[in-house]
Structure formats: C-alpha cells, structure tokens
Amino acid sequence: MKLDTILQTFGLKPKEAAIYLATLELGSGSVQKIASKAGVIRSTTYEVLEVLREKSLVTTFLKKHIRYYSAEDPNQIVHFAESRVATLKEALPELNALVGKNRRRPTVRFYEGKEEMGIVFNEILTEADTLIGLSSTDDLFREMGEVHKHFLAKRIAKKIPLRVILRDTPFGRERQRKGPQELRDARLMSAEQSFHGQMYTWKNKFAQFSFKDDFVAVVTESKELADMQRALFENLWALLPR
C-alpha cells in the first residue's frame, strides 16, 4: 500500500498526505519548494500546511524573513490516529445506545478469507468475559495457526475461560491435557462427527467459522439465538465424559 494511501486511511485528506510526505522528504522547506515537491499549487499548499500545523504534524519557523515548514516525526501520525480512535471509543456507548433503541432483528455479518476471519477473533477478545465453543481443533491449527496462537495468548492474558467440545483426535486429546494451564475445559466428542469448522458463543453473539474450501466466518448477534446455542451446547456438554 502506498504511503499516501496509508496516511489517508488514518485520517489525512489526499492533499494533506501529499504535502506532509513532501515536507517529510525535504526535511524543511519554503511553501514554494514544498508545493513544487508535492505537485500542488502554492496557495493551496500554504492552506494545507496551516491545517497540518494545527494537527501538530508540521512546525514553522522564519529564516531570513522567509517562512519555512518542517515535518514532525512520523510518530505524530500514530498519535493523531490514536487520538481519533480514543474520541470514537468515548462516543461508543452513545452510538451503541442509539443502535439498541431500534434493533429488533438479529444482525448477521459475513467475513471472507483468513485475514477477515482474524477480525472476528479480535472482536471476541475485545468483548468476551467467558466463552463456549465447538471445534475441529486439527483444522483450526492447520489453517489458522498463527492467528489462533495470538488469540490463545491474548485470551489467557485477559483471563477469558473457555469450555469447548473437541473432536476426539490425538490433537484434540493434547488440547484437553493442556487445558488447565490454558484456561480451557475441554470434553471430547466422537471423531466420527466429521466437520471442519468452529463455533464460539459469547454474550449475545455467536461466530461460526468454516475451514474447508471457502474460508468464511459468520457472526450473528441476537440474544434469543445465542441462548439457543448455549442450550444446545450445555445439553451436549452434560452428555460427554469429563
């Protein structure tokens, strides 16, 4: 991804990104020199530089009666993006309240590909305080190994306990054996139950992952449907040996 595109992703407008990069490359320069480097007319460059100065992304100084601009350290971009995220997080409870006022139907979201499936794992880490699941653990580690290692480490760090039903395979038995040290209580179902996926349920949501052919995840948000998933899980859980 190009640098200007990355900067735009984190909140800069196209001309702001172009002029910031030109200033960064020059180290410091007059408005005319920066405008020439960025390929933007002088009057617009001056206006944009002032906007960037207000955002603490450039500084200005006089040298022989000529105004020069210098780009701040690129870390300032990170601070700028973090401040925008922090502002959004502060507003999140109010935004969720607005959604809740009118939400009556279950919501369903689809994610395609392993990278997008990783987004769902992060969502679970952000929201869950406890988890239940059903997993073909062999497929999970074969197809999502690095993603799941990160998920496992974060889940343990955040002290999110997991009860999970696994297919009775050598790998499934290993996960059951390591359960206590990884906040996992696992029970085994027959390996004859052949499936290649996983399901997690937390709060009012459940996520279903497919690890064969099309790699997709489906996240459903509905208290009633999530409660149904819990009822099915608890019934099966009670039938399996410890």
**Domains by residue range for the chain, with CATH:** 3-77 (1.10.10.10), 107-239 (3.30.870.10)
Taking the C-alpha atoms of residue 196 and residue 212, their distance in angstroms, rounded to an integer, is 6
Burial (Cβ within 10 Å: 0-12, 13-18, ≥19) of residue 69:
buried
Amino acid 232: pLDDT: 95
Contacts of 148 (CB under 8 A, 6+ apart): 121, 140, 141
Amino acid 78: pLDDT: 76
pLDDT band at residue 171, thresholds of 50, 70 and 90?
Answer: confident
Amino acid 115: pLDDT: 84
Residue 9 has pLDDT above 80, yes or no: no
Write a three-state SS string for 16-64: HHHHHHHHHHHCEEEHHHHHHHHCCCHHHHHHHHHHHHHCCCEEEEEEC
> Which of 33 and 65 is assigned the larger pLDDT?
33
Which residues does residue 98 pair with via DSSP β-bridges, in sequence order?
A: none
Residue 1 has pLDDT above 70, yes or no: no
pLDDT band at residue 99, thresholds of 50, 70 and 90?
Answer: low
Which residues does residue 189 pair with via DSSP β-bridges, in sequence order?
A: 167
H-type helices in the chain, by residue range?
3-9, 14-26, 31-38, 42-54, 75-102, 113-127, 137-157, 170-177, 223-239
| C-beta separation of 81 from 88 below 8 A | no
Tokens 């001056």 sit at which residue? 46
Angle subtended at Cα 236 by Cα 232 and Cα 241, rounded to the nearest 5 degrees = 160
> What whole-number percentage of the chain has pLDDT above 70?
97
The maximal CA–CA distance of the chain, rounded, in angstroms, is 84
Amino acid 165: pLDDT: 94
pTM for this entry: 0.58
What's the pLDDT tens digit per position in 158-168?
999 999 999 89
Which residues does residue 58 pair with via DSSP β-bridges, in sequence order?
A: 71
Burial (Cβ within 10 Å: 0-12, 13-18, ≥19) of residue 156:
middle
Range with the lowest mean pLDDT among 22-31, 142-151, 226-235? 142-151
Q: Stretch 180-209: mean pLDDT, rounded?
A: 92
Tokens 């020069």 sit at which residue? 68
Residue 238 has pLDDT above 80, yes or no: yes
Amino acid 11: pLDDT: 74
pLDDT band at residue 104, thresholds of 50, 70 and 90?
Answer: low
